[in-house]
Structure 1
Amino acid sequence: MDLQALIDAASTRDWDTDPEESVSMAVVGLGNYARNVSIPAIEAGDYTELGAVVSGHPEKADRVAEGHDALSLSYEQYAEGEEVDAYDAVYVATPNRLHLDHIRTAADHGKHVISEKPLEATTERARAAVERCEDAGVTLMTAYRMQTDPVIRALASFISHGGIGEPTKAMGEFTFDVLGGSSGPDQWRLDGELAGGGALMDVGVYPLNTTRYLLGTDPVTVDGIARATEPFGSKSEDPGSPRFADEHVHFNVEFATGAVGDFTASFTGKADSWLEIVGSEGRIRIENAFGVNSDREVRIDTDAATVELSDWGLNETVEEFDYFAHCLLTGTPPEPDGHDGLVDVQTMGAVYRSAATGKRVSVDMGPARSGD
């Protein structure tokens, strides 16, 4: 793939075969992201529509349902299968440690599932989610919107076709000021048990998974450092504790191909996100890499040319849900499936073990964290 072909590919859907049907979605969990990002994306999609919303807060569910002409269900009604014919698939957007329960319910009702990342709070629970969907014969997709972004997909193809030679190194950062919005320190993202960790689980997964996708490889070993101050470290100062919520994390990854990764994630500091892939014959740098529907800036330096591109691509959240629906309508397994999500949870668990022990850790060693 040459640079012009990459530019052309970054504004197209390489997976779209234009099916005529659509998929009705039930949204489980009505937090800020689900209400303000995911539901509008579902309604804007070519192959998706909103069928139902599910929440533990009846007034919120009724208000959202009325505003979007959808059914309103409580968690109990969802679990019992009320109005189950009103939707074809389920989007799980609850806190991480609750994903498994809602995935199990969907699988028991024969519904396909797209679950927010990370797939679960621990390796054991992520694996259980994958196995339950496999046993039920339903599709499980991990909601890695970056993998459906045409820009990222085009770059992955460019790299796989030797565009920057042999990839040798990846570097990335995602800093998100989690206390900068309306949510205070009591939010679930700062509860290490409910979230599975802190900054690593919430935003560190982005450079990790996006690099895995771009390079087509998985981690072998990791080492990491995790730190927290009040209110992040108030529950425990031990990164090995299942209640630890990291404020900052720095981790290094050795991939199966021999490439290495160097990543950071933070819950405090000036917001930023970027990713750089270095190869034997060039490099790619993406600014505003992981923000929702961000105007990404991409610089590609190769032996042949240097290209800088901005305001590039499509709304990746709309792409994510349309891609999921397209997979269901065409019987195509999604690329970011449940196993993809499981690998990341397992890898992040290994980072926490490394942070707790001060040692380099193999990714395939044991459960993700104590307290699984």
Structure 2
Amino acid sequence: MNPRRDFLQKLAASAVTLPFLPLYASSVRSDLFYNKPYDGPVLRVAIMGLGSYGTRVAEAMQSCKRARLVGVISGTPSKIKDWQAKYNIPAKNCYNYENYDSIKDNPDIDAVYVITPNALHHEGVLRVAAAGKHAICEKPMAINAREGKEMVDACRKANVKLLVGYRMHFEPNTLEIIRMRNEGEFGDIMFFQGLSGFRIGDPGQWRLDKDLAGGGALMDIGIYAINGARYMVGEEPVWVTAQETKTDPVKFREGVDETIQFQLGFPGGAVASCLSTYNMNNLDRFFLNGEKGFAELQPSTGYGPIKGRTHKGELTKPHVTHQTVQMDEMAGIILEGKKPEVPVDGAEGVKDLTIIDAIYRACETGKKQELEL
């Protein structure tokens, strides 16, 4: 018996998808990078976990210039065969969950993108690091900060990079708001609101299994509001309070949160009010308020196009598929030492996990939790 393999095979067969907006073509390619030839180094990537999001990343990577899909890791032989045919992946670059440690002997793979259920990220990254390959891990990086720190330490010890799939850190309208804030166009930041949620479907899916998801909506969708509060305000929070609401204890069992409201306090005096839920649709909005102006994104974290406005007017940056830009930029980080405007490394992931741990404690105790990030 191999529970991990059996679970992942079952997951692949069910092909559960999130109710985000559909995958858009890379619609407006006015970005100079995508309008000129590229003749630099290319990051050769294997994807671990061939479910719905792994498929989305694979499709987006077909338009990448600095990153190329060259390998797969899966517990489902039929999926491996299909991906081989579709993406021209050689058999020597195909692995299952029992033998992928031998990837260390494959010089044709530089990095592995771990896109498995949350609770499997920790083991996946540790094994990838031990094999001497760079690790890209989907968010949340782990199910708690302790695991996240172990992943960071393992990658540091192995002298490989650990990056987290924070695609919004490369999104042009988001970066425009950050630029405006950095240049003082909003004045002192006073308030942030982050609304993240949708009504989840199949009650048997892994996202509603605490052992696999590590929690509920907060781990999956609320992390966007947590992370967004940090990069929109531009500071690290110093305290958090939180309240949980559960209307369906059958669907949302013990340890699986349905709806959590949480509040963050920042050293400069700004406060954030956020909502994370699996029980309400039409929640994908960020709002930033300052002394001199405001910024709003709606949708703020969906697959795009991201739309928004500020006190100066509409945001009109061109849309390129998020995962395409993410993988190209991550290739630049790994291969050329590029520094992103907003970090996407393992330390960034640990900060979000530290806040998540504190939110759950605040829900359990009813008390404000101090934060040291």
> Which bin holds the TM-score, normalised by the shorter protein?
0.7 to 0.9
Q: Does the alignment pair 1:89 with 2:111?
A: yes
Helix, strand or coil at the partner of 1:152: helix
Q: Does the alignment pair 1:314 with 2:325?
A: no
Aligned partners of 1:299 and 1:143: how far apart in 2?
Answer: 25
Counterpart for residue 240 of structure 2: 222
Contact 1:296–1:312, Cα closer than 8 Å, also in 2: no
Counterpart for residue 332 of structure 2: 326
| Deviation string, structure 1 residues 274-306 (Cα, Å, up to 9, x no partner) | 1000001100011111111x12221111xxxx3
Work out which of the residue numbers 82, 87, 96 in structure 2 matches 1:63: 82
Counterparts in 2 of 1:161 and 1:333: CA distance versus 1, 3 Å: closer
Q: How many residues align?
A: 336
Counterparts in 2 of 1:321 and 1:62: CA distance versus 1, 3 Å: same
Aligned partners of 1:33 and 1:61: how far apart in 2?
Answer: 15
Q: Which amino acid aligns with 1:309?
A: L
Counterparts in 2 of 1:216 and 1:309: CA distance versus 1, 3 Å: closer
Work out which of the residue numbers 91, 102, 109 in structure 1 matches 2:131: 109
Aligned partners of 2:80 and 2:43: how far apart in 1?
Answer: 21
Shift of 1:72: 2.6
Contact 1:169–1:277, Cα closer than 8 Å, also in 2: yes
Helix, strand or coil at the partner of 2:185: coil
Aligned partners of 1:231 and 1:321: how far apart in 2?
Answer: 39
Bigger CA drift: 135-144 or 265-274? 265-274
| Deviation string, structure 1 residues 2-44 (Cα, Å, up to 9, x no partner) | xxxxxxxx9567xx99661111101011111111x11111221
Aligned partners of 1:255 and 1:17: how far apart in 2?
Answer: 44
Q: Percent identity?
A: 29
Structure 1 portions without partners, runs of 5+: 1-9, 237-243, 366-372
Work out which of the residue numbers 23, 33, 54 in structure 2 matches 1:34: 54
Aligned partners of 1:23 and 1:231: how far apart in 2?
Answer: 45
Q: Does the alignment pair 1:285 with 2:296?
A: yes
Counterparts in 2 of 1:333 and 1:141: CA distance versus 1, 3 Å: farther
Counterparts in 2 of 1:11 and 1:300: CA distance versus 1, 3 Å: farther
Bigger CA drift: 356-365 or 105-114? 356-365
Work out which of the residue numbers 201, 209, 232 in structure 1 matches 2:227: 209
Shift of 1:77: 1.9
Contact 1:273–1:287, Cα closer than 8 Å, also in 2: yes
Bigger CA drift: 325-334 or 149-158? 325-334
Work out which of the residue numbers 273, 283, 286 in structure 2 matches 1:272: 283
Work out which of the residue numbers 297, 306, 326 in structure 1 matches 2:307: 297
Q: Does the alignment pair 1:359 with 2:370?
A: no
Counterparts in 2 of 1:19 and 1:112: CA distance versus 1, 3 Å: farther
Helix, strand or coil at the partner of 1:44: coil
Q: Does the alignment pair 1:250 with 2:272?
A: no
RMSD: 2.1
Structure 2 portions without partners, runs of 5+: 1-29
**Where does 1:68-147 land on structure 2 (aligned, <5 Å)?**
68-70=87-89, 71-81=93-103, 84-147=106-169
| Deviation string, structure 1 residues 240-296 (Cα, Å, up to 9, x no partner) | xxxx1111111001123321111101112223301000001100011111111x122
Counterpart for residue 21 of structure 2: none
TM-score (norm 2): 0.85
